[in-house]
Amino acid sequence: MLSNQQHGMKIQKSFVKTNDTASIRCPDCGLVKNISVGKFRNNRHTLKTRCSCGINFLVALDFRRHYRKPTVIIGMYSLIGGSYSGGGQMQVHNLSRSGVGFSISGVHNISIGQKALLNFRLDDKKQTVLTKKVLIKNVRKNTIGCEFINQTQIGKDLGFYLQP
């Protein structure tokens, strides 16, 4: 994982559009250039770039389908379906229209392919309570990445909350 600065260069983040292009903005002169980045989809995601003004900078490409909002929200999870059991407290680190990333503490029996029920309260004005069924897609130690099972019904409160 890269830090916000690498070798004295700041890292810019660029969201990749559905047509595999990204808009790159020079942090020095502000020049914006649209480039094709499809060839990087399954490879390196951080590019060293040189602007026509002479400055070098790094660009981290984000190939996610939806904007991911960073959060610090405490909630609860419980594994559901099959012979799965377990649950407890979680900390939601990020939310998008299609999924959620959270971490837990201690030993767990969570694995890819399991389903879970998540319950947490958004830190919006209404303190909206959300209950979402998810499919576990990624497990890295105590960090869990999930996809919402019913993405077509994200709800207007979550949709509004996720606006950048």
- Return the structure tokens found at 103: 């971490």
Write down the mean pLDDT value for the chain: 86
- Whether residue 44 is predicted with pLDDT greater than 70 in this model: the reply is no
Residue 119 parent element (H or E):
strand 115-121
Angle at 92 between CA 4 and CA 59, to 5 degrees: 25
Residue 45 pLDDT? 79
Residue 14 pLDDT? 83
Residue with tokens 């201690």: 106
Higher pLDDT pick, 31 / 154: 31
In the chain, the percentage of residues whose pLDDT exceeds 70 is 88
Give the confidence band of 126 by pLDDT, cuts at 50, 70, 90. very high
The answer to pTM > 0.75 is no
Domains along the chain with CATH numbers? 5-62 (3.10.660), 69-161 (2.40.10.220)
pLDDT in tens, 71-100: 999 999 999 987 777 899 999 999 988 899
How far apart CA 114 and CA 105 sit, in angstroms, is 18
- Return the structure tokens found at 68: 């991911």
- Whether residue 2 is predicted with pLDDT greater than 60 in this model: the reply is no
pLDDT in tens, 16-35: 877 888 889 899 999 999 99
How far apart CA 40 and CA 29 sit, in angstroms, is 25
Burial 47-76 (b: 16+ CB within 10 A, else e): bebebeeeeebbbebeeeeeebbebebebe
Give the confidence band of 101 by pLDDT, cuts at 50, 70, 90. very high
Residue 62 pLDDT? 78
Among the ranges given (6-10, 31-35, 46-50), the one the predictor scored with the smallest mean pLDDT: 6-10
